[in-house]
Structures are given as C-alpha cells and as structure tokens.
C-alpha cells in the first residue's frame, strides 16, 4: 500500500511516528513522509539543514520537507509562528512535492492539531481516505497548560478539530480515555479505534557491568530516575516537594535526564530548597542510550500535573518504562495510573500528591531486591501483552485495509 504520512515532526527528531514509518516499510508498504525541517526540541535547525532543504531518504522512506519558522525558545509568539508556518507551507507546497499516487493519508497529530490542515488538503487532492492518529487533545491541551486563555480562540480551535475528525475515515486514539472526547466532537464510535503507542525496540531489559559508565554518571544510593521533558506538565514541583520529604533518607537519590522549558526554574528551585545533595539534573542523553541508564536506576519515575486532559492520556513514557522491565514510581491520574496499577509493576499515587510520592519512594527503597525484580518482570510481561509493537502494527494494517476497501468511509 502507498502511504503518505503528514507530520510536523520526523527523523532525525525523535517521535513515535518514525518507528511506525519503519514498521510499515518493513512490511512491504511504500512510505512517503511530508514534514518540516527538524528543530525540536532545541528550537534551532539541526546541523546540515537549511530553509532550502527539500528531500532526503531515511532507510528507504522518502522524506519531503517544507520550510518552517523554527520554534526558537518556544515562547508563545514564536511557537505559534512555528505551528502556523508548517501548516500553511505544507498545505501549499505539499501537493507539488508529493506528486505520486497514494492509497491513504495518515496524520500524526501530536501538538499542534493544525498538522491536520495539509493532511486534509492531500486527502482532497489525491481522493484517498485519511486516518488521524491523535496523540494530544485540542483545545483541551491549550487550556490545561495555560497557553491559550481566550474563549474565542479555544472555540475556533474546537471547530477546526471537529472538521478534522469529520474528514477522517477513522480517528485513532493513543488512549481509551480519548474515546469520549472524540465522540463528543461528533464522531460515531465505529469510526474510533484504540491504537496505543509502543516503545522503540531498543527499550528492553539490559544488564550493566559493575564498571559501566552509566553507573559512574549517577550518584550512589537508591536511584529514582526521571527521563524526559522538563516542563510544566511534568509536575516538577511535586518531585521537588517529595525530595524535601525524603531529605532524611540521603540514600534516596532523584536523578533527572532531560531538558525543557522549565529546566532553569527547576535548577533554581533545587538550589533554593537546598536539595543539591539528592536531586541531580544530568542533562539530556540520546534516546537510544536510555535503556542503559534505566538499567542503572532502581526505579523509574513518571509524573504529570493534575488536569483532566492528562488523566485521559497514557504518557508514552509509561510504555518505555514497562518495556525496560524496571519498577515504576508514579504520580498520575486516570489512564496512566490505571496501566501502572493493572500491570502491578510499581507504586502509583495521585498526580501532584507529594506526600504519597515520598512514601512510595521510601517503600520502594526499603523493598527487597527480589520484590523489585518481580515488579520489573511484571512490567515487561504487561508490555508484551498490551503494547507490543508487532501487535499495534497488525492493528494499524487491519484499519488501513478496512478503510481503503470501503469508499463510503472516506467520503468528505
């Protein structure tokens, strides 16, 4: 099948859509990607790219690039320009740069939802069905993070979301918690499919030698590792408050691998709260190296702020942590909490509950190695049963063949 993927983010940026594209290629499908210039997360164009960069290949996948305004420091006006420039230029240039025939268009809808505009243009120009893989709920994510407060703007975004969903033969959701949201936008239940994220194949249990460099990079003690974005949505104040409560247990070390818009504030808070002995910001590492850092940790930390939209989401970190076969320490609500609890792979409490997070950290630290290893094995087993890459790709192929064989589904 000839698949056109429309996504603002693609390799060498690290997003789940990269792995889906490779999986479809491996299964014999012809894959083309319409995308922008790589600039996430630092906000600057990656080395080797310029506004004139137009096309390249990635392991047999054709990439058609359009210019965009880099996100810079991701402040409001610059981020809006980044979103709008890709949506506009991909809509105008996409039909010219993607001239071949396609059987289906897949929209990878992480933020922003405006990525659906060029996808709809390609759907109409090529007269093929469109699938929309929803990773983030708009306009709820805008209001939850405080990025947009204007009721009028949120209403216009909601109208666009409804139109994008209507134009989709199927709406694929990464969490079952998204289903009611999509239904409330006028989509019948039979046009909604649950298609969760998975972890890249390199996320797996690994064994580190005692002299491995990852051990040396991390402080001695019971290591609780947070890996990922340092942002408002990750509830770092909850982590720091929990670290204050475990100050009397200097063996409990909170380690952060990552970067993000909130990093400078978090670093200042660590100094102000006098937590430098137990909270460590080690910076970002390549995602491919994460399994070895996970292996050097004793527990993996997942936190989100308390908001209805986050309660509906399964953070992609959940799958990565489960796949790595390590105990999980979490402060989450809703779907993410349900997955951790059902897997019996760790301890989970409510979002932003620093008291519970601190108590659970102490409980894990005091637990026997045998019991923690049992949690890790449960994590890996649950991942293989629920989120295995092959199972999800099977589901996606079935959906593609279903919609391309039913012209009524893709009527505008």
Reported as a single tens digit per residue, the pLDDT across 13-22 is: 989 999 999 9
pLDDT > 60? residue 36: yes
- Quick one: CA dihedral 164, 168, 174, 175, positive or negative? positive
DSSP 239: H
For position 249, what pLDDT does the model report?
A: 96
For position 150, what pLDDT does the model report?
A: 85
Instruction: Indicate the SS3 state at residue 190.
Output: helix
- Cβ atoms within 10 A of the Cβ of 165, count? 21
Instruction: Indicate the SS3 state at residue 288.
Output: helix
Q: Please name the residues in contact with 83: beta carbons below 8 A apart, sequence gap of 6 or more.
A: 8, 112, 114
Asked if residue 342 lies in contact with residue 318, where contact means CB atoms within 8 angstroms, the answer is: no
Which pLDDT band, with edges at 50, 70 and 90, does 74 fall under? confident
**155: phi then psi, degrees, rounded to nearest 5:** -65, -40
- Cβ atoms within 10 A of the Cβ of 260, count? 19
- Write down all domains in the chain, each with its CATH number in brackets: 2-198+388-410 (3.40.50.2000), 213-386 (3.40.50.2000)
How far, in Å, CA of 101 to CA of 126, rounded? Answer: 7
Q: What does the angle CA 35 – CA 40 – CA 45 come to, to the nearest 5 degrees?
A: 80
- pLDDT tens digits for 294-336? 999 999 999 999 988 899 999 989 999 999 999 999 999 999 9
pLDDT > 80? residue 146: no
- pLDDT tens digits for 269-297? 999 999 999 999 999 998 899 999 999 99
Rounded average pLDDT over 233-247: 97
How far, in Å, CA of 133 to CA of 116, rounded? Answer: 10
Cβ-in-10-Å burial (0-12, 13-18, 19+) of 97 comes to middle
pLDDT > 80? residue 145: no
pLDDT > 50? residue 154: yes
Q: What is the dihedral of CA 123, 129, 132, 138, to 10 degrees?
A: 60
> What is the Cα Rg of the chain in Å?
21
Instruction: Report CA-CA distances (Å) from 308 to 92, 172, 298, 305, 355.
Output: 36, 20, 30, 10, 21
DSSP, residue by residue, 254-279: EEEE---TTHHHHHHHHHHTT-TTTE
Asked if residue 223 lies in contact with residue 307, where contact means CB atoms within 8 angstroms, the answer is: no
3-state secondary structure 358-401: HHHHHHHHHCCHHHHHHHHHHHHHHHHHHCCHHHHHHHHHHHHH
Strands 61-65 and 55-58: antiparallel
For position 412, what pLDDT does the model report?
A: 39
Q: Longest Cα pair distance anywhere in the chain, in angstroms?
A: 65
329 Rama class: left (phi>0) / alpha (psi -120 to 50) / beta: beta
Instruction: Indicate the SS3 state at residue 159.
Output: helix
Asked if residue 72 lies in contact with residue 43, where contact means CB atoms within 8 angstroms, the answer is: yes
Cβ-in-10-Å burial (0-12, 13-18, 19+) of 215 comes to middle
Asked if residue 12 lies in contact with residue 19, where contact means CB atoms within 8 angstroms, the answer is: no
Name the helix (H) or strand (E) containing 24: helix 16-26
How far, in Å, CA of 257 to CA of 48, rounded? Answer: 26
- pLDDT tens digits for 330-365? 999 999 999 999 999 999 999 999 999 999 999 999
pLDDT > 80? residue 232: yes
How far, in Å, CA of 165 to CA of 162, rounded? Answer: 5
End-to-end distance of the chain based on CA atoms, in angstroms?
Answer: 21
379: nearest Cα among 303, 306, 317 = 317
- Mean residue pLDDT across the chain: 94
Asked if residue 317 lies in contact with residue 158, where contact means CB atoms within 8 angstroms, the answer is: no
């Amino acid at each position: 099948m000839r698949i056109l993927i429309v996504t603002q983010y693609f390799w060498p940026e690290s997003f789940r859509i990269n792995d889906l594209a490779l999986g479809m290629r491996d299964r014999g499908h012809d894959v083309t990607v319409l995308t922008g210039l790589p600039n996430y997360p630092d906000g600057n164009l990656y080395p080797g790219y310029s506004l004139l960069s137009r096309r390249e290949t990635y392991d047999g996948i054709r990439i058609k690039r359009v210019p965009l305004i880099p996100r810079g420091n991701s402040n409001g006006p610059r981020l809006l320009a980044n979103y709008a420039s890709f949506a506009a230029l991909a809509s105008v240039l996409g039909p010219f740069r993607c001239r071949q025939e396609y059987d289906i268009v897949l929209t990878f809808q992480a933020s922003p939802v405006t990525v659906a505009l060029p996808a709809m243009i390609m759907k109409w120009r090529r007269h093929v069905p469109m699938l929309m893989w929803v990773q983030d709920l708009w306009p709820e994510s805008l209001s939850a993070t405080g990025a947009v407060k204007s009721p009028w703007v949120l209403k216009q975004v909601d109208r666009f979301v409804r139109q994008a969903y209507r134009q989709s033969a199927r709406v694929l959701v990464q969490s079952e918690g998204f289903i009611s949201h999509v239904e409330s936008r006028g989509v019948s239940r039979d046009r909604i499919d649950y298609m969760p994220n998975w972890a890249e194949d390199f996320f797996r249990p690994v064994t580190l030698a005692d002299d491995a460099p990852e051990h040396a990079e991390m402080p001695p003690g019971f290591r609780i590792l947070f890996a990922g974005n340092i942002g408002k949505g990750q509830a770092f104040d909850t982590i720091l408050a929990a670290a204050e409560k475990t100050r009397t247990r200097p063996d409990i070390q909170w380690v952060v691998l990552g970067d993000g818009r909130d990093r400078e504030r978090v670093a200042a808070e660590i100094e102000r709260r006098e937590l430098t002995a137990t909270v460590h910001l080690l910076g970002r590492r390549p995602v491919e190296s994460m399994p070895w850092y996970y292996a050097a940790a004793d527990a993996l930390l997942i936190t989100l702020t308390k908001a209805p939209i986050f309660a509906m989401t399964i953070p992609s970190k959940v799958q990565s942590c489960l796949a790595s076969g390590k105990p999980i320490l979490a402060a989450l609500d809703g779907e993410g909490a349900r997955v951790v609890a059902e897997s019996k792979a760790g301890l989970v409490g409510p979002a932003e509950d620093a008291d519970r997070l601190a108590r659970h950290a102490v409980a894990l630290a005091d637990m026997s190695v045998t019991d923690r290893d049992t949690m890790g094995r449960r994590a890996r087993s649950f991942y293989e049963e629920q989120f295995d890459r092959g199972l999800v790709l099977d589901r996606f192929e079935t959906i593609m063949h279903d919609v391309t064989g039913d012209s009524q589904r893709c009527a505008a």
